Amino acid sequence: MQENYLAKWLNGDLTDAELAEFENSDAYASYKRIADTTDSMQAPEFDADGAYQALKNRRELRDNKVITLHPFRKFLRVAAVAAVLILGSYLYLNLSDETISTSFAENKEITLPDLSEVVLNADSEISYSESKWDKKRNVDLKGEAFFRVAKGKRFTVATDAGNVAVLGTQFNVENRKGFFEVTCFEGLVSVAFNNTVTQLRAGSSFIAIHGEIVESGAAHTSEPSWMHDESSFKSVPLKYVLDEFERQHDIAVKTQDIDLGQLFTGSFSNSDTGLALKSISVPSQIKFKFEGDKVLFYGENTP
């Protein structure tokens, strides 16, 4: 006999053979009588209509209470929205930061409230608070920019990698994914990076790659090269050179079989794409070809 055969029997699920066997058992008569008797059993009367009517009455009682609350709630909602709008526009008009950004292959010159100048390189963004400028000269930077700071109070450039503070000078800050570089062209710049402060004299650079400070040679120019439509590198991993190429020429770069960690020293043009490609590929001993609107750099030995 199968498992739970009594349940199967009550449900008419026994096979003929099983049923015959069951009917021949001693206990069958008792089981049959229980089943038959319980079949004729009845639960107490339930007045469904009456219950529904009673339920409706109780429902209305509760619903009414809710309705009396509605007008006030609506008023509160409107008031809350209005308050947010008023506060929001106040904050926007008075306290919001000025934000200026550039996209690929674009540079912008910005004059700050104290006549300090900022030149934004491609794919970069600065923001500062105009209303608080008199108290604090503070600029948030993503990407790369050159600063010519008017003499005055401490001037701070904040990036997610580190802060650069000066009194009055000319310097360049580049903060790209994993790459942070500050070059001082005039005066003295202090760079706060990972809790250490480095003083940069004119003509020197501070470079950190993936959080590691890297020794770098001195710059011998008075302005960063990108301001003359040229990107220059001194012992920089090829990866960052290609990233910069992407930004300056707005062309997506793909690579295959090349060592992105090899150091690159040299420069490429920001205006002439063909020349720039050669400037990168020849000294690095790699090849390139166009694939649709992308450019693929690949190793010399790749078939």
**Which residues of this protein are in contact with other proteins, per CB under 8 A?**
3-8, 10-11, 27, 30-31, 33-35, 37-44, 46, 48, 51-52, 54-55, 58-59, 62
Residue among 53 and 285 whose Cβ is closer to other proteins: 53
Residue among 2 and 111 whose Cβ is closer to other proteins: 2
Residue among 7 and 197 whose Cβ is closer to other proteins: 7
Minimum CB distance to other proteins, residue 72 (Å): 20
Minimum CB distance to other proteins, residue 195 (Å): 51
Residue among 6 and 167 whose Cβ is closer to other proteins: 6
The total of other beta-carbon atoms located within 10 Å of residue 291's CB is 10
Gyration radius (Cα) of the chain, Å: 39
Element (H, E) at 101: strand 98-101
Residue among 30 and 99 whose Cβ is closer to other proteins: 30
- Cβ atoms of residues 38 and 25 within 8 Å: no
- The dihedral built from the CA positions of residue 177, 179, 185 and 189, taken in this order, carries a sign that is positive
Minimum CB distance to other proteins, residue 140 (Å): 44
- Cβ atoms of residues 106 and 100 within 8 Å: no
- Identify residue 268 by its one-letter amino acid code: F
The total of other beta-carbon atoms located within 10 Å of residue 256's CB is 11
The total of other beta-carbon atoms located within 10 Å of residue 241's CB is 24
Minimum CB distance to other proteins, residue 1 (Å): 11
Residue among 30 and 265 whose Cβ is closer to other proteins: 30
Minimum CB distance to other proteins, residue 16 (Å): 20
Q: Round to whole Å and give the CA distance between 19 and 65.
A: 61
Q: Round to whole Å and give the CA distance between 20 and 18.
A: 5
Minimum CB distance to other proteins, residue 69 (Å): 14
